[in-house]
Chain A
Amino acid sequence: MTQTKSTPGGRGTLYKGREGMWSWVGHRITGVGIFFFLLVHVLDTSLVRVSPEAYNAVIGAYKHPIMILGEIGLVGAIVFHAFNGLRIILVDFWKQGTRYHRQMLWAVLTLWLVTMVAFSVRHLMIFFEGWEGF
Chain B
Amino acid sequence: MTATNSEATLPSQGTEAPRSGRVDPKYLRSNPSKGAFEMWAWLFMRVSGAALVILIFVHLWTNLMVGDGIYQIDFAFVAGKWANPVWQFWDLTMLWLAMLHGANGMRTIINDYAEKDSTRLALKSILYLASTVIIILGTLVIFTFEPCLVDEAGNLLEYAPSFCETAVN
Report which A residues bind B (CB closer than 8 A): 28, 31-32, 34-35, 38-39, 42-43, 45-46, 48-49, 51-53, 55-56, 59, 62-63, 68, 71, 75, 78, 82, 85-86, 88-89, 92-93, 119, 122-123, 126-127, 130
Choose from A35, A55, A85 the contact partner of B78 (Cβ within 8 Å).
Answer: A55
Separation of A93 and B137 alpha carbons in the complex (Å): 35
Q: Is B123 an interface residue (CB 8 A)?
A: no
Q: Are A49 and B71 in contact (CB under 8 A)?
A: no
B91 CB, nearest partner CB in chain A, Å: 9
B64 touches A78 (CB 8 A): no
With A35-B106, A52-B149, A52-B159 in contact, is A46–B137 under 8 Å at CB?
Answer: yes
Say which residue of A49, A52, A123 sits within 8 Å of B144 (CB atoms). A49
Identify 8 new A-B residue pairs, CB closer than 8 A, beyond the known A78-B56, A86-B53. Answer: A42-B137, A55-B74, A59-B73, A82-B49, A86-B50, A89-B50, A123-B65, A130-B71
Q: Name 23 interchain pairs, CB-CB below 8 A, sorted by A.
A: A28-B109, A31-B102, A32-B106, A38-B98, A42-B95, A42-B99, A46-B141, A48-B79, A52-B74, A52-B160, A53-B159, A56-B159, A62-B70, A63-B70, A63-B71, A78-B60, A86-B53, A88-B46, A88-B49, A119-B60, A119-B65, A123-B65, A127-B70
Query: A35, A43, A123: which contacts B105 (Cβ < 8 A)?
Result: A35
Interface of chain A, helix or strand or loop or mixed? helix
Using a CB-CB cutoff of 8 Å, which residues 57-106 of chain B contact chain A?
A: 57, 60, 64-65, 68-71, 73-76, 78-79, 95, 98-99, 102-103, 105-106
Q: How far is the CB of B144 from chain A (nearest CB, A)?
A: 7
User: Quick one: given A45-B78, A52-B160, A56-B75, are A31 and B105 in contact (CB under 8 Å)?
Assistant: yes
Chain B residues lying within 8 Å of A55, measured Cβ to Cβ, are 74-75, 78
Contact assessment for B64 and A123 in the assembled complex, using a CB-CB cutoff below 8 Å:
yes
A-binding residues in B (CB < 8 A): 46, 49-50, 52-53, 56-57, 60, 64-65, 68-71, 73-76, 78-79, 95, 98-99, 102-103, 105-106, 109, 130, 134, 137-138, 140-141, 144-145, 149, 157, 159-160
* Main secondary structure on B side of the interface with A: helix
Which residues of A are found within 8 Å of B69, using beta-carbon distances? 122-123, 126-127
Would you give the shortest CB distance from A53 to chain B, in whole angstroms? 7
Q: What residues of B have a CB within 8 angstroms of the CB of A46 in the complex?
A: 137-138, 141
